[in-house]
Amino acid sequence: MGLKDKVCIVTGGGSGIGRSAALMMAEAGAKVVLVGRTVSKVEDVKDEIEAAGGKAMALGLDVGDYDGVMQMAKDVLGAYGQIDVLVNNAGHSSHHRRLMTTTPEELRAVLDSNVAGSVFCSQAVVPHMQERGEGTIINVSSMAGVNASMLAGMAYSAAKAAVINFTAFLNAEYKNSGIRSSVVIPGEVDTPILDNRPIVPSDDARDTMVTADDAAEAIFLIANLPQRACIPELIIRPTYQRDTSAEAGAA
């Protein structure tokens, strides 16, 4: 059956990897719930899905808002009666990348969107998944969470490392419950988040990177597997490894 008639929540669904994953899931017959801070962006993706004959719901929400996340899950269950897949994709980096330049506000915002948001959304859906005896949680991390990156920054690297560890914890706590958790770990991906770097990569540099569609294919693969199979961790990185030392020095 794959994803046909499954209900899939995708946070950060208004652009980049989240948008691509949502479109792929909808094309496979899933009912997609698009969650994002900018309502107009998730509404635009919802319109794309519906124009192609798919089913979607768009919700404006900051995943760092615990009460809002809990209400989101209630709204989805009220509309569709089930939640099969959660993709924790929402997240952003900070403008300042180094220890002594990162502000308290930047640190809290990065941890809220990347870590707290993944935890809150998981807390919102796990009780329902436990009751049904199955469910899939896919967290989106980064290679910066594997190898601390001057280019990605202190806050982002730490947050994405936490996402990897959180995924392992989910699999440990919910072992043999029917709930499977996976983390997708992309290398450089050509998404709008790159525009926030101190030195924005050139078009030529972006051409060597993994695309949002490439990373979304990895998410789709995991979600589309039979429930008996789990990929705990999947790394997808560019085949061409470019020299980023000059950009990292300016971070």
Measured in degrees and rounded to the nearest 5, phi and psi for residue 175 equal -55, 130
**8 Å CB contact between 135 and 179:** yes
**Nearest-CA neighbor of 141 among 119, 113, 163?**
163
DSSP string covering 2-59, please?
TTTT-EEEEETTTSHHHHHHHHHHHHTT-EEEEEES-HHHHHHHHHHHHHTT-EEEEE
> Alpha helix (H) ranges present in the chain?
16-27, 39-51, 66-80, 104-111, 117-132, 154-173, 203-207, 212-224, 245-249
For residue 94, CA distances in Å to 23, 107, 153, 186 come to 28, 7, 7, 18
| Spatial CB neighbours of 114, under 8 Å, sequence gap ≥ 6 | 90, 91, 92, 156, 159, 160, 162, 163
156 assigned to active site? yes
Count how many residues are written for the chain. 251
- Name the residue among 137, 219, 220, 223 with its Cα closest to residue 173: 137
64 alpha carbon, distance to own chain's centre: 14
Catalytic option among 66, 156, 174, 240: 156
Catalytic positions, please? Answer: 156
